[in-house]
Amino acid sequence: MIENYLDIHPEVEKALVNNLPVVALESTIISHGMPYPQNKETALHVEQIVRDNGAVPATIALIGGKIKVGLTENEIDYLAKSGSKIVKASRRDLPFLLSQKIDGATTVASTMIAAELAGIRVFATGGIGGVHRGASQSFDISADLQELANTNVAVVCAGIKAILDLGLTLEYLETFGVPVIGYQTEELPAFYTRKSGFKVNNKLDSASEIADLLKTKWDLKLKGGVIIANPIPKDKQLDFEVMKNAIDKALIQEKELGIKGKDSTPFLLGKVKELTDGLSLDANIALVYNNAKLAAQIAQELK
């Protein structure tokens, strides 16, 4: 019985019962995204942005054998201080971690699962996972993509993480019928920058239009999520060539060190941060704030 595993914060539960807008938020960015106390401050500020834009935040994590939907400040502080000691939890990890009462920080995939179980339809994150470069040999493809194909949650993000193969990720999403909607843009944003060279499927210019698309999709019983690609603000983006050069160098070092699988994304993001003297982290924080605002606006229109 799902009630044995789901622990919804009273504020979130009240909002859901009263059909008020709620936005799901992941916890990997807290435990694996940046150092303490910056990670805590960022998480609390994201929640405040959601509130300021008329929705209730629901940060999600696994704590004490429960899927917590909506965290207390003490729980956020615990995740932030524990850092990488907290296990990254994707779909495959949920049964083991919950049954063994091991705490976990939710990825895009597991946050989507928890959000759907709780009845939350909008989720704000930084960027989604996808097809890794060299996947034709490694078969390294993020579980985020299958979750997007099967779970009815809209994901507001700044596109696909730029360290990945954007073209192959778009092809994968097309195969599984996942719409990629550009918010006020026809070009897919590439996480740290607004530029990628790839097109989105459709451009929509308002939160109400996006909400109408989501209602239509799910009214038609077309299962799966939708990517709402929200470009990073112009004044916060990295220079495209600076980003590209940093990623290229990080990929070379990853190959030299033999880093693969689950460790790949954290290593690459950390290396890009180092190579850009922290500018990539500043951009990451700015885009998360921007996505939280849009997600709250969409949730308002979707209620």
CATH topology for 1-120 is: Indigoidine synthase fold (3.40.1790)
Q: What is the pLDDT of residue 111?
A: 98
The amino acid occupying position 230 is N
Q: Mark whether 161 is an active-site residue.
A: yes
User: The tokens of 165 are what?
Assistant: 């193969």
**In the 8-state DSSP scheme, what is residue 37?**
T
Domains 1-120 and 121-303 share a fold: yes
Catalytic position from the list 68, 88, 161, 236: 161
Instruction: Say whether 24 sits in a helix, a strand or coil.
Output: strand
- pTM for the predicted model, two decimal places: 0.95
Q: Give the integer Cα–Cα distance in Å for 76 and 41.
A: 10
Q: What is the pLDDT of residue 113?
A: 98
Q: What is the pLDDT of residue 256?
A: 87
Catalytic position from the list 13, 26, 75, 254: 26
Q: Name the phi and psi angles at 208, rounded to 5.
A: -70, -40
- Strands 6-8 and 66-69, sheet pairing: parallel
Q: What is the pLDDT of residue 158?
A: 97
Q: What is the pLDDT of residue 134?
A: 85
pLDDT string in tens for the chain (303-residue length): 788 999 999 999 999 999 999 999 999 999 998 889 999 999 999 999 999 999 999 999 999 999 999 999 999 999 999 999 999 999 999 999 999 999 999 999 999 999 999 999 999 999 999 999 988 788 889 999 999 999 999 999 999 999 999 999 999 999 999 999 999 999 999 999 999 999 999 999 999 999 999 999 999 999 999 999 999 999 999 998 998 899 999 988 988 898 887 788 888 888 888 999 989 999 999 999 999 999 999 999 997
Q: Mark whether 273 is an active-site residue.
A: no
Q: What is the pLDDT of residue 180?
A: 98
CATH topology for 121-303 is: Indigoidine synthase fold (3.40.1790)
Q: Enumerate the domain spans of the chain.
A: 1-120, 121-303
Instruction: Say whether 149 sits in a helix, a strand or coil.
Output: helix
Q: What is the pLDDT of residue 157?
A: 98
